[in-house]
Amino acid sequence: MTRHEQSPTNPGRPVLTEKVRSAGEQQLLRSLKDRLAELRALAEEFRDEDRLYRVWRGSAKAFALLQGPTETTVELFCAIDPTGVLVTALGDERAERAPAVLNGPVEEFARIVVAGTHKQWTRQDNSRWLEATSPLVLAFAHCKYLVEAAIASAEMLEEPPDSLPSGWASVLCVFGLR
């Protein structure tokens, strides 16, 4: 089976074949269902009101509070990545199993989470608080949305649908399947 072919809109850029994409969607949905308890526990972490309050109060605790669930989401998503596209975009050491296929949404998500994770608070951050915390808040918000969309998709779908609900389509984008 050929894993990828050339993009009709962007010659020279490989894209996943429909057969690989379909298998990836099925594997992803199975993985989300298998890890539904983990996803639900993670969703509870995102609901902690103290996380954003610490940003508004200018508390250094915001760095750890925002990055914790964001980094956990990235780790979980990398562990269930059916094609390896996400781990490749993130520069993860597991990237050797990935095809040489990246697309806009995966690259954008990777940029957002890289900019908003593994940051340590410094005193200089106080003088540029909004600039220092905005990437953390953005990564947190994207991961929160994707965890909620993954849960809804795992609960609602028995198999990947032909007509895509927005949440499922968003999850597929992050894994390079749309």
Backbone φ and ψ for 5, nearest 5 degrees, come out as -135, 180
Question: How far, CA to CA in Å, does 161 sit from each of 5, 35, 95?
Answer: 23, 20, 28
Per-residue pLDDT of the chain (178 residues; tens, 9 = 90+): 334 444 444 454 445 555 556 888 999 999 999 999 999 999 999 998 889 999 999 999 999 999 999 999 999 999 999 888 888 888 764 444 444 445 578 888 998 999 999 999 999 999 999 999 999 999 999 999 999 999 999 999 998 888 788 999 999 988 888 7
Q: Give the residue extent of every domain in the chain.
A: 15-174
